[in-house]
Chains A and B, each alone.
Chain A
């Protein structure tokens, strides 16, 4: 295990890459996720990342273990940073070494995609306007109030407390 971890400080990619070295590997692929200056029409000035680390590490380990089962690669590792990050800072790093390059690209893509969808990590964007917002939370939080048809459907489903039986 130990294929997924968090850091409060800058990700040490040289060290991370060394952990993937293998005499049987013909190459390695890495992905770096960076803090960029815009998102959905807003000018972003910095980001704050926060994680439910106990569960996030478990889920991250499961994702990398899945990648190692699905793709014939040698080693894989993902490191995610938490805390306050500035523009151009690296938020996440994924690295995969393998005999041939094809599966290394595939496994790297799989890991970053799954991490973004499944691992309990949140980011708050701070905007030039002075506003801020939790990505994927503020907009969807507002949605049920405006989308009345959907709102109704959900609430009807929700009301019978089936869990009591």
Chain B
């Protein structure tokens, strides 16, 4: 299944890109984070992140569908 991933802040720097289209067997955002952590060596643990699917906050165990846009959200620091 093909997914679109966008990266921000620390994760953008660690992935070395701001977005990509990915062919993956990952079923959930949790699986996907495991897969991408292995590839890019993300330093943040999943417990420190939130995840968004199609521009809305999502559960880590949601079943992803082809074409979904996934964004991992590191600890925020606005203001």
Contact = CB atoms under 8 A, between A and B. Distances in A.
Interface of A: 33, 49-52, 54-55, 58, 80, 91-92, 112, 115-124, 134-138, 140-142, 144, 154, 158, 161-164
A89 B6 CA distance: 28
Nearest to A112: B79
A135 B45 contact: no
Given A52-B8, A141-B43, A154-B47, A121 B78 contact: yes
Nearest to A134: B10
A139 to B, nearest CB: 10
Given A50-B8, A119-B78, A122-B8, A154 B71 contact: no
Interface size class of B (residues with CB under 8 A): 20 to 34
B3 interface: no
A116 B52 contact: no
Contacts of B74: 122, 134, 136-137
A129 B10 CA distance: 19
- Of all A-B residue pairs in the complex, the 3 with the closest CB atoms, nearest first, are A121-B78, A122-B9, A163-B61
Given A50-B8, A163-B30, A118 B47 contact: no
A116 B79 contact: yes
A144 B79 contact: no
Contacts of A80: 78-79
Contacts of B45: 144, 154
B77 A135 contact: yes
B20 interface: no
Contacts of B6: 52
